[in-house]
Amino acid sequence: MPLRERVAGVVETTWFQNTVIALILINGIILGLETVPELREAHGDLLRGISRMFLMLFIVEMTLRVYVKRLSFFRNPWSVFDLAIVLLALVPTLGPFTVMRVLRVLRVLWLLSAIPSLRRVVAGVLKAFPGMASIGVLLVLLMYVSGVISTLLFQETDPVHFGDLGSSLFSLFQVMTGDSWADVIARPIMEEHPLAWIFFVAFILLSTFIVLNWFIAVAVDAFENVHLDTGYEHQADASRQRILNEIQQIQAQNAQLHTELAELRAQLRTAPQTDPDATGADSGTTVPPTDTPNPGRPGE
Protein backbone atom coordinates (compact mmCIF):
# COMPACT_ATOMS: atom_id res chain seq x y z
CA MET A 1 0.00 0.00 0.00
CA PRO A 2 1.40 3.45 -0.88
CA LEU A 3 2.43 5.79 1.93
CA ARG A 4 -0.21 8.37 1.00
CA GLU A 5 -3.00 5.80 1.35
CA ARG A 6 -1.68 4.66 4.72
CA VAL A 7 -1.55 8.25 5.97
CA ALA A 8 -5.08 8.82 4.66
CA GLY A 9 -6.24 5.72 6.52
CA VAL A 10 -4.97 7.30 9.75
CA VAL A 11 -6.09 10.91 9.17
CA GLU A 12 -9.64 9.97 8.18
CA THR A 13 -10.28 7.64 11.10
CA THR A 14 -12.70 8.59 13.88
CA TRP A 15 -10.15 8.29 16.67
CA PHE A 16 -7.79 10.71 14.92
CA GLN A 17 -10.55 13.31 14.48
CA ASN A 18 -11.66 12.90 18.08
CA THR A 19 -8.06 13.39 19.20
CA VAL A 20 -7.87 16.64 17.22
CA ILE A 21 -11.11 17.84 18.85
CA ALA A 22 -9.73 17.03 22.30
CA LEU A 23 -6.53 18.95 21.53
CA ILE A 24 -8.55 21.97 20.39
CA LEU A 25 -10.56 21.95 23.62
CA ILE A 26 -7.47 21.61 25.81
CA ASN A 27 -5.73 24.37 23.86
CA GLY A 28 -8.74 26.64 24.39
CA ILE A 29 -8.56 26.00 28.14
CA ILE A 30 -4.84 26.83 28.13
CA LEU A 31 -5.50 30.09 26.30
CA GLY A 32 -8.12 30.96 28.91
CA LEU A 33 -5.72 30.19 31.76
CA GLU A 34 -3.19 32.62 30.27
CA THR A 35 -5.64 35.46 30.93
CA VAL A 36 -5.55 34.85 34.72
CA PRO A 37 -2.90 37.22 36.14
CA GLU A 38 -1.90 34.94 39.03
CA LEU A 39 -1.43 31.89 36.80
CA ARG A 40 0.33 33.94 34.14
CA GLU A 41 2.86 35.26 36.66
CA ALA A 42 3.44 31.89 38.33
CA HIS A 43 3.29 29.54 35.34
CA GLY A 44 3.51 31.83 32.31
CA ASP A 45 6.45 30.04 30.69
CA LEU A 46 4.82 26.64 31.17
CA LEU A 47 1.53 27.78 29.68
CA ARG A 48 3.26 29.38 26.69
CA GLY A 49 5.33 26.22 26.17
CA ILE A 50 2.20 24.06 26.19
CA SER A 51 0.53 26.46 23.78
CA ARG A 52 3.50 26.21 21.38
CA MET A 53 3.42 22.43 21.65
CA PHE A 54 -0.25 22.41 20.66
CA LEU A 55 0.53 24.74 17.76
CA MET A 56 3.19 22.31 16.50
CA LEU A 57 0.71 19.43 16.74
CA PHE A 58 -1.83 21.43 14.74
CA ILE A 59 0.82 22.19 12.11
CA VAL A 60 1.63 18.48 11.82
CA GLU A 61 -2.07 17.64 11.51
CA MET A 62 -2.53 20.30 8.82
CA THR A 63 0.54 19.06 6.94
CA LEU A 64 -0.82 15.49 6.93
CA ARG A 65 -4.17 16.69 5.61
CA VAL A 66 -2.53 18.67 2.82
CA TYR A 67 -0.37 15.65 1.95
CA VAL A 68 -3.42 13.39 1.75
CA LYS A 69 -5.82 15.76 -0.02
CA ARG A 70 -3.30 17.70 -2.13
CA LEU A 71 -5.11 20.13 -4.43
CA SER A 72 -8.54 18.98 -3.29
CA PHE A 73 -7.62 20.32 0.16
CA PHE A 74 -7.85 23.89 -1.15
CA ARG A 75 -11.26 23.26 -2.75
CA ASN A 76 -12.84 22.68 0.66
CA PRO A 77 -13.76 25.99 2.37
CA TRP A 78 -13.46 24.45 5.83
CA SER A 79 -9.93 23.26 5.09
CA VAL A 80 -8.95 26.73 3.87
CA PHE A 81 -10.49 28.16 7.07
CA ASP A 82 -8.33 25.83 9.21
CA LEU A 83 -5.23 26.72 7.21
CA ALA A 84 -5.90 30.45 7.66
CA ILE A 85 -6.13 30.01 11.45
CA VAL A 86 -2.83 28.11 11.49
CA LEU A 87 -1.14 30.83 9.44
CA LEU A 88 -2.47 33.51 11.78
CA ALA A 89 -1.07 31.58 14.72
CA LEU A 90 2.37 31.63 13.08
CA VAL A 91 2.44 35.44 12.88
CA PRO A 92 5.04 36.77 15.38
CA THR A 93 3.61 38.49 18.46
CA LEU A 94 6.44 40.98 18.93
CA GLY A 95 6.79 44.61 17.90
CA PRO A 96 4.01 45.88 15.65
CA PHE A 97 2.42 42.41 15.62
CA THR A 98 1.74 42.31 19.37
CA VAL A 99 -1.97 42.79 18.75
CA MET A 100 -1.93 39.51 16.79
CA ARG A 101 -1.70 37.64 20.11
CA VAL A 102 -5.41 38.25 20.48
CA LEU A 103 -6.04 36.17 17.35
CA ARG A 104 -4.66 33.05 19.04
CA VAL A 105 -8.09 32.49 20.56
CA LEU A 106 -9.34 31.85 17.02
CA ARG A 107 -7.88 28.36 17.33
CA VAL A 108 -11.01 27.44 19.29
CA LEU A 109 -12.96 28.09 16.08
CA TRP A 110 -11.40 24.91 14.69
CA LEU A 111 -14.27 23.18 16.43
CA LEU A 112 -16.57 24.59 13.74
CA SER A 113 -14.83 22.50 11.11
CA ALA A 114 -13.96 19.53 13.33
CA ILE A 115 -17.53 18.79 14.53
CA PRO A 116 -20.00 17.95 11.72
CA SER A 117 -23.04 19.22 13.63
CA LEU A 118 -21.44 22.65 14.04
CA ARG A 119 -20.62 22.70 10.34
CA ARG A 120 -24.28 22.13 9.56
CA VAL A 121 -25.28 25.00 11.87
CA VAL A 122 -22.86 27.37 10.15
CA ALA A 123 -24.04 26.16 6.75
CA GLY A 124 -27.63 26.84 7.81
CA VAL A 125 -26.76 30.37 8.91
CA LEU A 126 -24.97 31.08 5.65
CA LYS A 127 -27.84 29.65 3.65
CA ALA A 128 -30.34 31.78 5.61
CA PHE A 129 -28.29 34.95 5.19
CA PRO A 130 -30.00 36.19 1.95
CA GLY A 131 -33.46 35.86 3.50
CA MET A 132 -32.28 37.41 6.76
CA ALA A 133 -30.73 40.30 4.84
CA SER A 134 -34.09 41.05 3.20
CA ILE A 135 -35.86 40.97 6.55
CA GLY A 136 -33.08 43.14 7.99
CA VAL A 137 -33.73 45.78 5.33
CA LEU A 138 -37.42 45.66 6.25
CA LEU A 139 -36.51 46.10 9.93
CA VAL A 140 -34.26 49.08 9.12
CA LEU A 141 -37.11 50.73 7.21
CA LEU A 142 -39.47 50.09 10.13
CA MET A 143 -36.96 51.56 12.58
CA TYR A 144 -36.36 54.62 10.43
CA VAL A 145 -40.04 55.40 9.87
CA SER A 146 -40.83 54.82 13.56
CA GLY A 147 -37.86 56.97 14.58
CA VAL A 148 -39.04 59.89 12.48
CA ILE A 149 -42.61 59.57 13.78
CA SER A 150 -41.52 59.30 17.43
CA THR A 151 -39.23 62.30 17.08
CA LEU A 152 -42.01 64.44 15.68
CA LEU A 153 -44.50 63.27 18.32
CA PHE A 154 -42.42 63.13 21.51
CA GLN A 155 -39.51 65.51 20.90
CA GLU A 156 -40.81 68.19 23.25
CA THR A 157 -42.23 65.79 25.81
CA ASP A 158 -39.10 63.64 26.27
CA PRO A 159 -36.07 65.34 24.67
CA VAL A 160 -33.70 62.89 26.40
CA HIS A 161 -35.04 59.84 24.58
CA PHE A 162 -36.62 61.45 21.49
CA GLY A 163 -34.78 64.75 21.11
CA ASP A 164 -33.34 63.86 17.71
CA LEU A 165 -33.41 61.00 15.23
CA GLY A 166 -30.37 59.24 16.72
CA SER A 167 -31.79 59.31 20.25
CA SER A 168 -35.16 58.12 18.96
CA LEU A 169 -33.60 55.17 17.11
CA PHE A 170 -31.65 54.10 20.19
CA SER A 171 -34.75 54.43 22.38
CA LEU A 172 -36.81 52.40 19.93
CA PHE A 173 -34.11 49.73 19.91
CA GLN A 174 -34.42 49.62 23.69
CA VAL A 175 -38.19 49.26 23.32
CA MET A 176 -37.71 46.46 20.77
CA THR A 177 -35.43 44.51 23.12
CA GLY A 178 -37.87 45.00 26.04
CA ASP A 179 -35.24 46.59 28.30
CA SER A 180 -37.31 48.57 30.87
CA TRP A 181 -39.14 50.32 28.08
CA ALA A 182 -42.46 50.62 29.92
CA ASP A 183 -41.22 52.34 33.09
CA VAL A 184 -38.39 54.38 31.58
CA ILE A 185 -39.79 55.43 28.20
CA ALA A 186 -43.47 54.71 27.68
CA ARG A 187 -45.15 55.62 31.00
CA PRO A 188 -43.58 59.08 31.39
CA ILE A 189 -44.73 59.97 27.87
CA MET A 190 -48.21 58.53 28.46
CA GLU A 191 -48.68 60.94 31.36
CA GLU A 192 -48.88 63.76 28.81
CA HIS A 193 -49.98 61.72 25.77
CA PRO A 194 -52.50 59.08 26.98
CA LEU A 195 -52.81 57.59 23.51
CA ALA A 196 -49.05 57.09 23.11
CA TRP A 197 -49.50 53.44 24.05
CA ILE A 198 -50.95 52.84 20.59
CA PHE A 199 -47.64 53.80 18.99
CA PHE A 200 -45.50 51.72 21.35
CA VAL A 201 -47.74 48.63 21.21
CA ALA A 202 -47.89 48.77 17.40
CA PHE A 203 -44.13 49.16 17.20
CA ILE A 204 -43.51 46.20 19.53
CA LEU A 205 -45.96 44.01 17.62
CA LEU A 206 -44.32 44.82 14.29
CA SER A 207 -40.68 44.74 15.35
CA THR A 208 -40.58 42.02 18.01
CA PHE A 209 -43.44 39.64 17.37
CA ILE A 210 -43.51 39.78 13.57
CA VAL A 211 -40.15 40.82 12.11
CA LEU A 212 -37.98 38.93 14.59
CA ASN A 213 -40.13 35.84 14.20
CA TRP A 214 -39.53 36.10 10.47
CA PHE A 215 -35.83 35.82 11.22
CA ILE A 216 -36.49 32.65 13.18
CA ALA A 217 -38.70 31.23 10.42
CA VAL A 218 -36.07 31.86 7.76
CA ALA A 219 -33.36 30.30 9.94
CA VAL A 220 -35.44 27.20 10.69
CA ASP A 221 -36.27 26.75 7.02
CA ALA A 222 -32.61 27.04 6.09
CA PHE A 223 -31.61 24.49 8.75
CA GLU A 224 -34.23 22.05 7.46
CA ASN A 225 -32.93 22.46 3.91
CA VAL A 226 -29.37 21.88 5.10
CA HIS A 227 -30.53 18.75 6.93
CA LEU A 228 -32.25 17.46 3.80
CA ASP A 229 -29.20 18.29 1.67
CA THR A 230 -26.99 16.48 4.16
CA GLY A 231 -29.26 13.43 4.00
CA TYR A 232 -29.14 13.47 0.21
CA GLU A 233 -25.37 13.79 0.33
CA HIS A 234 -25.13 10.80 2.67
CA GLN A 235 -27.35 8.77 0.35
CA ALA A 236 -25.28 9.84 -2.65
CA ASP A 237 -22.07 8.95 -0.83
CA ALA A 238 -23.51 5.55 0.10
CA SER A 239 -24.57 4.96 -3.51
CA ARG A 240 -21.15 5.99 -4.81
CA GLN A 241 -19.46 3.74 -2.29
CA ARG A 242 -21.70 0.81 -3.24
CA ILE A 243 -20.97 1.36 -6.93
CA LEU A 244 -17.24 1.59 -6.22
CA ASN A 245 -17.37 -1.66 -4.26
CA GLU A 246 -19.19 -3.39 -7.13
CA ILE A 247 -16.65 -2.04 -9.62
CA GLN A 248 -13.82 -3.30 -7.43
CA GLN A 249 -15.43 -6.73 -7.24
CA ILE A 250 -15.84 -6.83 -11.02
CA GLN A 251 -12.23 -5.78 -11.47
CA ALA A 252 -11.09 -8.47 -9.03
CA GLN A 253 -13.12 -11.12 -10.89
CA ASN A 254 -11.76 -9.86 -14.21
CA ALA A 255 -8.23 -10.06 -12.91
CA GLN A 256 -8.86 -13.60 -11.67
CA LEU A 257 -10.19 -14.61 -15.09
CA HIS A 258 -7.12 -13.13 -16.79
CA THR A 259 -4.92 -15.09 -14.41
CA GLU A 260 -6.74 -18.35 -15.12
CA LEU A 261 -6.57 -17.75 -18.89
CA ALA A 262 -2.85 -17.06 -18.65
CA GLU A 263 -2.34 -20.30 -16.71
CA LEU A 264 -4.31 -22.28 -19.32
CA ARG A 265 -2.27 -20.77 -22.14
CA ALA A 266 0.94 -21.64 -20.34
CA GLN A 267 -0.22 -25.22 -19.84
CA LEU A 268 -1.13 -25.54 -23.52
CA ARG A 269 2.28 -24.23 -24.57
CA THR A 270 4.17 -26.62 -22.30
CA ALA A 271 2.07 -29.73 -23.13
CA PRO A 272 4.09 -32.37 -25.27
CA GLN A 273 3.10 -32.79 -28.91
CA THR A 274 1.79 -36.39 -29.52
CA ASP A 275 1.72 -38.45 -32.76
CA PRO A 276 -1.82 -39.17 -33.92
CA ASP A 277 -0.85 -42.79 -35.02
CA ALA A 278 0.74 -43.46 -31.69
CA THR A 279 -2.19 -42.06 -29.97
CA GLY A 280 -4.47 -44.37 -31.89
CA ALA A 281 -2.32 -47.47 -31.10
CA ASP A 282 -2.14 -46.63 -27.49
CA SER A 283 -5.83 -46.16 -27.27
CA GLY A 284 -6.53 -49.67 -28.62
CA THR A 285 -7.91 -48.74 -31.99
CA THR A 286 -7.10 -51.05 -34.90
CA VAL A 287 -5.91 -49.82 -38.19
CA PRO A 288 -7.88 -51.45 -41.00
CA PRO A 289 -5.78 -53.55 -43.52
CA THR A 290 -5.15 -52.14 -46.91
CA ASP A 291 -5.68 -54.15 -50.12
CA THR A 292 -2.20 -54.55 -51.66
CA PRO A 293 -1.44 -56.72 -54.68
CA ASN A 294 0.24 -60.07 -53.89
CA PRO A 295 3.55 -60.37 -55.67
CA GLY A 296 3.22 -64.21 -55.89
CA ARG A 297 3.29 -66.52 -58.79
CA PRO A 298 2.40 -65.08 -62.11
CA GLY A 299 -0.77 -66.21 -63.64
CA GLU A 300 -2.54 -66.79 -60.36
Mean pLDDT in residue range 89-105:
63
Count how many Cα atoms sit within 13 Å of the Cα of residue 121 in the half-sphere of its side chain.
8
Q: Lowest mean pLDDT of 107-116, 189-198, 223-232, 253-262, name the range.
A: 223-232
Percent of the chain with pLDDT strictly greater than 90: 13
Q: Tell which residue, 55, 54, 74, 56, has the closest CA to residue 65.
A: 74
pLDDT at 294 over 70: no
Confidence of residue 44 (pLDDT cuts 50, 70, 90): confident
Mean pLDDT in residue range 104-113:
72
Contact 161, 186 (CB under 8 A): no
Domains annotated on the chain, with CATH: 3-114 (1.20.120.350), 119-245 (1.10.287.70)
pLDDT at 300 over 50: no
Confidence of residue 93 (pLDDT cuts 50, 70, 90): low
Q: Lowest mean pLDDT of 152-166, 173-187, 211-225, name the range.
A: 211-225
pLDDT for 199 equals: 93
Q: How many residues does the chain have?
A: 300
What are the strands, taking DSSP E only, across the chain?
Answer: none
Q: In 10 A of CB 37, how many CB atoms?
A: 9
**Backbone CA torsion sign across 246, 252, 257, 261:** positive
Sequence-distant (≥ 6) Cβ neighbours of residue 16 within 8 angstroms = 10
pLDDT at 264 over 90: no
Q: In 10 A of CB 136, how many CB atoms?
A: 14
Q: Lowest mean pLDDT of 65-69, 101-105, 159-163, 261-265, name the range.
A: 101-105
Quick: pLDDT tens for 110-128. 777 777 777 777 777 788 8
Mean pLDDT in residue range 254-271:
80
Quick: pLDDT tens for 25-42. 888 888 888 888 888 888
**CA-CA distance, 127 to 222, in Å (whole number)?**
6
pLDDT for 299 equals: 46
Mean pLDDT in residue range 134-158:
91
